[in-house]
Amino acid sequence: MSLFSGLGDLAHLAAIFLLLQKMRKSRSCSGISLKSHLLFLLVYITRYLNLFWSFKSLYFFSMRIIFICSESYICYLILQNLRPTYDKRLDTFRSGYLLGGCAILALIYPIKYSVFGILWTFSIWLESVAILPQLFMLQRSGEAETITAHYLLAMCLYRGLYIPHWIYRLAIRQHVMLVSVFAGIIQTVLYADFAIVYRRTVLQGKKFRLPA
Amino acid sequence: DTIQSIKDEL
């Protein structure tokens, strides 16, 4: 862990908090992609499988628990309590291709040929693209509530801050995983496009709206 | 090693 990854993790927590806050206050999940959140849930489950037998520190242990629990809770809310407000007709991204593509990449080049190694690699690739159903949904509706835009920006910061973290690790000659770096860059680029629109709209006090 | 550095990140 470094200052950058610590801040990145905090941005991730902030993103989850913002999303839950929005869902709780508005009693609605309109504009939120269930598909993206199911993918994120799969990301955390496959990555943190070793949660109970590989203890590193209280920090990592509790963050992992928080990510798995909060993501399960978000999916639960969309599927149960807030189901009537879920825009199913807008959430039509074909996530099967993402799952298939990530599975193939993980099988071809896992960090280690073991169940854990393959699942971990799968989770890294899947995380990099898991937001696509959400961005696709945004593209279809053309605008987002400001708070959804805040959520996406916080998620952009999260992986974006890992990039200086990896550079720092390289600088102090610590091991860096190439897969994480590649996937992390893809992930940040996907959000960055969105962040540019965010800067032009939300930061100028306007409603988040994609250019026509 | 590889698996060790996985544990350093979320």
Report the domain count for chain A: 1
Query: The domain containing residue A21 runs over which residues?
Result: 3-203
Answer whether A12 sits within 8 Å of B1, measured CB to CB.
Answer: no
Residue A73: inside a domain, yes or no? yes
Answer whether B8 sits within 8 Å of A1, measured CB to CB.
Answer: yes
Q: Specify the residue for token string 């696509």.
A: A132
Answer whether B3 sits within 8 Å of A112, measured CB to CB.
Answer: yes
Provide the pLDDT for residue B6.
77
Higher pLDDT, A52 or A12: A12
Residue A211: inside a domain, yes or no? no
Residue A210: inside a domain, yes or no? no
Q: What ipTM is given for this predicted complex?
A: 0.86
Is a pLDDT exceeding 80 seen at residue A82? yes
Is a pLDDT exceeding 70 seen at residue B2? no
How far, in Å, CA of A77 to CA of A72, rounded? 9
Mean pLDDT over A69-91 rounds to 97
Residue A39: inside a domain, yes or no? yes
Residues 1-10 of chain B with CB under 8 A from chain A are: 1-10
